[in-house]
């Protein structure tokens, strides 16, 4: 498998395993966030096959099956060399009892749950999953600061974000644009930006 260099992560497989669909059916605040018809054993077998083919990058999120996807990746980590895999997860869709998913305490609770689900003591990449930072971008700075602190403590290697769409530069320049927060977050220059579809 061809490898590519990613700042903060080192060399990773050019193809990664996206793990949203293996989380199965779930809802978050009444919104469907998963897929029906997922067989856990088949999903795990697919992860093992990906590993056998040389894939070293596994991308999941706390919202994928409300932790089920992370648990399946964690199952893989029990049989593979953790130091040779790049594990990415995301935060920002699950609010729990907090006022907003990007409140510091909620990020830290979700981070602890992610580590527990994965059975690891660090993440290679932790990304902001949503571009909703609350009214007047209230939680943008708090979210970025919290992830930087986790990185500085050695609990994550790199910080990322699910990318806004390609028109974000125009949004960032227009102070009255309703999606300026999404663009502003992109402008923070995270180590990794995950494209959207």
Residue 64 known to be catalytic: yes
Long-range contacts of 35-42 (CB under 8 A, 24+ apart): 38/65, 40/68, 40/72
Sign of the C-alpha dihedral, residues 179, 104, 73, 14? positive
Tokens in use for 8?
A: 């903060």
168 three-class SS: helix
Question: Out of 64, 102, 126, 139, which one is annotated catalytic?
Answer: 64
Sole residue written with tokens 């949203």: 20
Active site residues: 64
């Amino acid at each position: 498998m061809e490898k590519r260099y990613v700042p903060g992560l080192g060399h990773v497989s050019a193809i990664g395993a996206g793990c949203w669909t293996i989380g199965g059916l779930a809802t978050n605040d009444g919104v469907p966030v998963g897929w029906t018809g997922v067989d856990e054993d088949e999903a795990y077998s697919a992860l093992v096959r990906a590993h056998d083919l040389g894939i070293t990058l596994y991308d999941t999120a706390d919202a994928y099956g409300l932790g089920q996807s992370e648990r399946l990746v964690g199952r893989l980590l029990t049989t593979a060399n953790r130091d040779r895999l790049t594990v990415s997860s995301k935060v920002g869709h699950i609010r729990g009892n907090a006022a907003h998913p990007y409140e510091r305490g909620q990020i830290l609770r979700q981070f602890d749950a992610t580590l527990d689900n994965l059975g690891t003591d660090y993440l290679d990449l932790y990304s902001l999953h949503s571009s909703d930072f609350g009214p007047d971008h209230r939680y943008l700075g708090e979210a970025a600061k919290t992830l930087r602190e986790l990185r500085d403590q050695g609990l994550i290697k790199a910080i990322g974000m699910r990318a806004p769409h390609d028109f974000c530069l125009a949004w960032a320049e227009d102070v009255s644009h309703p999606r300026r927060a999404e663009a502003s977050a992109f402008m923070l220059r995270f180590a990794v930006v995950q494209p959207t579809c």
